[in-house]
Amino acid sequence: MPEKAKVDQTVDCIGLYCPEPVFRTRQEIDKMVVGQVLEIIADDPAAEQDIQSLIRRTGQKLIEIRKEGSHIRFLIEKVK
């Protein structure tokens, strides 16, 4: 069970399709400071892979991915 992270910013990507969720995730991560946690909520099935790829490419930390019905919730910590 992951530690309960304090969410600093939430981006609602419900109804948005590739590449918009990834684009918005990248925009928000760039604005944040190290140690902050970003929550992304999306319903585009492609977002699961796309956002994980972005996190790997940018070297951030994926705290959690949770599927809630048709929604996917990501918690990402900015580490650099």
Considering the entire predicted model, what is its pTM?
0.91
For residue 54, give the CATH number of its domain: 3.30.110.40
CA atoms within 13 A on the CB side of 32: 23
Whether 2 maps to a domain, the answer reads no
Please give the residue range of the domain that contains residue 66.
9-77
Residues 37/20/65/32 CA torsion (nearest 10 deg): -10
Query: Which positions are annotated as active-site residues?
Result: 18
pLDDT at residue 48 greater than cutoff 90: yes
How many Cβ atoms from other residues are within 10 Å of residue 15's Cβ?
Answer: 9
pLDDT value, residue 5: 74
Whether 36 maps to a domain, the answer reads yes
pLDDT value, residue 3: 54
Alpha helices in 1-80 (DSSP H): 20-31, 47-58
pLDDT tens-digit map of 15-34: 999 999 999 999 999 999 99
pLDDT value, residue 1: 41
